[in-house]
Chains A and B, each alone.
Chain A
Amino acid sequence: NAGVTQTPKFRILKIGQSMTLQCAQDMNHNYMYWYRQDPGMGLKLIYYSVGAGITDKGEVPNGYNVSRSTTEDFPLRLELAAPSQTSVYFCASSLGEASQHFGDGTRLSIL
């Protein structure tokens, strides 16, 4: 099993550009999450989903959008990239409220 797969691993964007960070899991987990990690700040929850068609905001949702059309995929979209969105983004999944499994992250720089 691949677990949680995130693509791309690295990306540089210009201010104002848009992009989608992809996340896929093959464990048939119903819960999926997006976090951002900034140095010395731990992880902050951006959005989460408890199943296909259901999404909800986390602690820091501004500037991001998500969708969950299938159990496997949970893409994160940045519409108008800003320097404050430079971060490492982690996707995670879990079976209900059990332990979360994390992807290896997407390192995003916005210049």
Chain B
Amino acid sequence: GQSLEQPSEVTAVEGAIVQINCTYQTSGFYGLSWYQQHDGGAPTFLSYNALDGLEETGRFSSFLSRSDSYGYLLLQELQMKDSASYFCAVNSGNTPLVFGKGTRLSVIA
């Protein structure tokens, strides 16, 4: 099976940078995704890393190290609207998109 670990809660100040880490254990690893979910809403796709390294999309970046079974999501220039839950999800063979428990990010003024 798969297991993913990410912090349950993170608090950061508006305008700052925050990093949300994710470690995983799985067989047949293909890649790591990140999703955002606002309260009462549906998860929305942010990024996908299949190869080692950093992928940047605007204020959000995602990093993967396959050898360390580790990835992170980096959010820069935090805004109040970034307050949400962030999920990492592994894509592994016949069972794609198994999600972690999520990290609740609170952005404070």
- A and B form one complex: no
A residues with a Cβ closer than 8 A to B are none
B residues with a Cβ closer than 8 A to A are none
